[in-house]
Structures are given as structure tokens and as C-alpha cells.
A and B are shown apart, each in its own frame.
Chain A
Amino acid sequence: MGASVSSEFALEVEKVTFQYGKYVALNDVSFQLRKGKFAVLLGLNGAGKTTLFSLTTRLFKTQSGSVRIFGNDVHNNSTAALQNLGVVFQQRTLDMDLTVQQNLMYFAALHGMSRTLSKERMQIELERIGLAEKIHEKVRTLSGGQLRRVEIARSLMHQPALLVLDEATVGLDMGSREGILKYMRQLCDEQQISLLWATHLIDEVSDTDQVLVLHRGQLIADGVAAELVSQSGTSDIRQTFQYLIDHADSKSDSI
């Protein structure tokens, strides 16, 4: 179960640089996500979003800088940090040979949850996403949208205070995409869950979201969507995003 969360910030990324050999995937990236807020991490493919997620989830170890979840460093105090974190990876991570129940119970066990509590939480989360009747079905038989919803239910089993989703709607039809996004916003509003939503689909951004734009491993913008639009003098977030990318590219070309 998620531990107590006293820090003002759900996620703090501070001066993070990460390289694969000579290739710099993240370059001095810093930002903060406040408790109970919805932030969208925007970036083209290869911008460094997945690397940032891998650092946030302890799959990779930071080479320089730090990542903190509710004040706990992901690498030096990983148990406390990861207790409060729910993750949906870009790649499907469910065990296709197991049933929905077996997958969720396995995940709950990895978080040290008791069987009674796990069953209770599983029922709640599956009902909430409308898949309670699929509980005994093999994951392999579910549709792409249903798989994603099961992964979201799984990520909420231990009641995390921070949820990070890496391109969670990629490959889904419009209806499933909208449904998942709506549900995420609802979680944020009603349960005060902080949410970091990584995507390259700009139409998923709303005016009040905190927007983080990652481009070629650098954070080139951090602010509320509506403010970024007005600051850039464009008419919508799509144009703003394009403007920021072009601006960053021209800057790096001139260097």
C-alpha cells in the first residue's frame, strides 16, 4: 500500500543527465510535479520519455542528478519511493498466460499486500474500469483496450499517490483512448492522484494541464498549457508544440 506522502511534490526530477554510451538521452532535465496535478510529458518519438520513465521506475539507475517521489530518492530510498508509485509502461507487461486475477494478485504480492486486501482492491479497481466480469479470463483473450484498462487497474492496486503512464493510449482506437484519458483525469480530480502522462498525441492535452516538452533529451518547456500557448503567440497547443520544437532545433543548429 502507498506510504504516507508528506512532500509538497509528487515527483521531482533534478538535473538528470543520462547517456547510452556517447548518445545523450537526457540532458540536465529538471522539473517538479505538484501533488494532485495532471502533467503531460510531450515529446516526439526518441525524445527521451521512456528513458525518463525507466529512471523514475528504477529500471535504470541515474548517472547524474536525482529523481524523487514524494521526497524519497528512487535509488537511495527506493522502497519508500516506489511504494507510492503506480506505473503503466508503453510495452504490455501483463503475463499473457495468466488470468486477469492471477496477474493482479501477482502484482499485489510484489507490493507486499495481503491476500484479503488484494482481493478487495482488485474487485474495486476492476469494477471501476468495467472489467469485473473478466476476472477469470486469460489476459490473452482480451482486446487491446481491455488490456490497457487491466494494466491501469493493476497500477492502482496498491493505491499509489503518483501514477506515471508511458504512451498508454498508443495503438488504441479513438473510443478507448478517450475513455482511458477521461478516467485518468477523473482519478486526478476525485482522488488527488498526481499523474504524469507521457504522450506524443497532442490532442490529449487540456488547457489546465501542466505541460512538459521534452525534445532531443532536453526539457524545452514547462508550464500550464494555456500559458504556454499565449507566451508563444500561437493559437493552440499543437502550434505551440511545433513552435517550441522548431525554436529548439534552430537554436541547436546555430550552435
Chain B
Amino acid sequence: MSIHNYVRCFLGILQREIYRFFQQTGRLLAALVRPLVWLFVFATGFRNVMGFPSSPPYTSYVEYDVYITPGLVAMIILFNGMQTSLSMVLDREMGSMKTLFSSPLPRWFLLTSKLIAGAFVSILQSYAYILIATLWIYYRLGTAGLPPWEGYFILLPTLLICGVALGAMGLFVSSRVRQIENFAGVMNFFIFPMFFVSTALYPFWQIKISSKVMYGLAYLNPFSHVVELIRFGFYAEPNLESLIWVICVGAFFLGCAIWGYDATRGTVARKMM
């Protein structure tokens, strides 16, 4: 098998994810409605009582709806990562995973391709949301509330890295979830704590003032670093610490997912239980 075969395989997996995404219009709407409700309802309600003084990457006082936009982009990626996980569990139940795993290319490559394809779908969703959020902030605050234009481009690789990292987490979860019915539990125990104990809604320094324990949890929460990476990416500013965190977490969970889907462990282990 040559490099061409690998590229074609990856493109095939990517194309399938895109087909599936556009055939499930409800999925696109759900992906957009969730953060937009936060932006239009939650942030509108809180912007008179919340807003933060200047701290990197911001150079002036930050309105609350400007502050939470990166967190809501990260929310889209988090939910899509879990959606990837859900679709893997569904693929396993419906049998289409057999088609994937009985193809000749190595399993790690197939899983990584699936992951990147999922991240690509996250990017499409994220930019759709960013477009609406940008128009909203421009309407409210004018250009002063918007990040620099180059931030929108720098965000692209940032979103890919974050999408792969959170998708890897989802992939690992899917290797452990035996039935689709168990997925609601994953949502309650995984997604919501990750989102709320993070910097998506409040900055690190404010969490630190409120509670040292919460600050420690938020700092150790990889989702906080995803949010920060996106926040700095928006402003075309580097955030090496968060980048390292996200890459390490992504690599760790990808390794775990490949281990979880190993022919000797995953399916066989499940049959044994």
C-alpha cells in the first residue's frame, strides 16, 4: 500500500463524515442552537453584572458575550467529540465498524482518520457559530468587540488541534461504553462537569479568588486549556502552555483509544464481561 492508498482512505472516511453530517440537519441545528442560547440568553442576562478587566489576550475591558464566545466554540467541539463517540458506539451496534476494521490499512490509521474527520466537522460547525457570533458582537459593540481578522485564520489549526484532542477523548469513551443507552450517563458525568469547571464561563484568576480547590480542578481540566487555546487563537496570540496541555491530552487519549479498540482487548474484553 502506497501513500496514495492512505490518502484515499482518509479522504473516504472524511467524505463519509461530511455526508452523514449534512444528512443530519438536526445535528447542525443542535450544534448551533446550544451555544447560541448561551450567547443570546445567558450572556445577555449576565452582561450587566459580569464583565472582566483587561487580561491577556484582551487589551481592554471585556464584555461578557465577547468573553464567553471562545468557550462556546470549545463547547461545540466538545459536544461534537462526544457525538463522534456516540456514532462509534452506533457504528459498532449497526455493524458498520466491521467494514472499517476489516479493511487492509492499520487500525491506528483508521481510528486517527476517523478522528480528524470528526474534527473537520467540528470546524465547520464552529465557523458557522463564529459567523453568527461575530455579527452579533459587531451589532452590539462595533469593531471594538471583534478580534483581529488574522485571528479567524489562526483559529483554523487551533480548532483542528482542539477537535482532535477532544475527539480522542470521545473515541476512548466510546471504546469503553458498551451500549448506546449508557451514553446519557456519559453526558452527565463527563461533558457537564468538564464545561462548568473550566474557563469557558469565568477566567482562571476569578475562579482562583473564589475557590482554590475549584481553581485546581479547572487548571487540571483539559477543557480549560482547549478554551484558552481558542481564546488566544482568536487574538492571534500564542499560548504555549495550553498548546502543550492540549497536544499531550490528545496524544494520551488517542493512545488509549487505539488500545481500547485493539483486536485483543476491546471487543473480546466486552464479550468476556
Interface residues of A, Cβ cutoff 8 Å to B? 20-21, 54, 57-61, 63, 75, 78-83, 85, 87, 89, 91-98, 102, 105-115
User: Across chains A and B, which 8 residue pairs bring their CB atoms closest together, nearest first?
Assistant: A109-B12, A112-B5, A110-B103, A82-B104, A61-B263, A91-B95, A57-B102, A93-B95
Please give 13 more A-B residue pairs, beta carbons under 8 A apart, in addition to A59-B102, A93-B98: A54-B267, A57-B102, A82-B104, A85-B102, A94-B96, A95-B20, A98-B23, A106-B16, A107-B103, A108-B12, A109-B9, A110-B12, A112-B6
Partner of B263, one of A21, A58, A95, A108: A58
A95 with B96: CB separation less than 8 A: yes
B101 close to A93 (CB less than 8 A): no
CB A96 to nearest CB in B, in angstroms, measures 7
Residues of B within 8 A of A82 (CB): 102-104
Is there a chain A Cβ closer than 8 Å to B19's Cβ?
yes
Q: Is the interface of B mostly helix, strand, loop or mixed?
A: helix
Give the contacting residue for B9; candidates A20, A57, A60, A110; CB below 8 A: A110
A75: chain B residues within 8 A (beta carbon)? 263
Q: Among the interface residues B11, B23, B95, B263, which one has the most CB atoms of the partner chain A within 10 A?
A: B263
Are A110 and B263 in contact, with the CB atoms below 8 A? no
Residues from chain B with a CB closer than 8 A to the CB of A113 are 8
Given known A21-B272, A61-B263, contact A110–B94 (CB-CB < 8 A): no
Residue of B nearest to A107 (CB): B99
Inter-subunit contact A95/B16 (CB<8 Å): yes
Also in contact, A87 and B267, with CB within 8 A (given A20-B272, A98-B16): no
- Inter-chain contacts of A21 with B (CB < 8 A): 272
Q: A60-B268, A89-B95, A102-B16 are in contact. Are A79 and B102 (CB under 8 A)?
A: no
B13 CB-CB contact with A under 8 Å? yes
Interface core residue of B5, B23, B24, B102 (most chain A CB under 10 Å): B102
Does B206 make an interface contact (CB < 8 A)? no
Report Cα–Cα, A78/B102, bound state, in Å. Answer: 9
B13:A109 contact, CB within 8 angstroms: yes
In the complex, whether B1 has a CB less than 8 A from a CB of chain A is yes
Interchain nearest-CB distance for A87 vs B (Å): 5
B103: A residues at CB distance < 8 A? 82, 107, 110-111
Q: Which residues of B contact A (CB under 8 A)?
A: 1-2, 4-6, 8-9, 11-13, 15-16, 19-20, 23-24, 94-96, 98-106, 110, 262-264, 267-268, 271-272
In the complex, chain B residues whose CB is within 8 Å of the CB of A111: 5, 9, 103-104
Name which of A21, A60, A110 has the most chain B CB atoms within 10 A of its CB: A110
Minimum C-beta distance from B268 to chain A (A): 6
How far, in angstroms, from A98 to B4 measured CA to CA in the complex? Answer: 25
Q: How far is the CB of B27 from chain A (nearest CB, A)?
A: 11
A182 to chain B, nearest CB (A): 25
Query: What are 8 residue pairs bridging A and B, where the CB atoms are less than 8 Å apart in the complex?
Result: A57-B101, A59-B267, A61-B263, A79-B1, A102-B16, A102-B19, A110-B13, A112-B9
Check if A58 sits within 8 Å of B272, measured CB to CB: no
- Name, among A54, A75, A94, the residue most crowded by chain B CB atoms within 10 Å (CB to CB): A54
B95 near A92 (CB under 8 angstroms)? Answer: yes
Q: Say how far A69's CB is from chain B's closest CB, in angstroms.
A: 10
Decide if B98 touches A109 in the complex (CB within 8 Å): no
Q: A20-B271, A79-B1, A97-B20 are in contact. Are A109 and B15 (CB under 8 A)?
A: yes
Give CA–CA (A172, B23) in the complex, Å: 29
Q: Given A59-B263, A61-B263, A93-B98, are A110 and B20 neighbors across the interface (CB < 8 Å)?
A: no
* Nearest CB of B to A116, in Å: 11
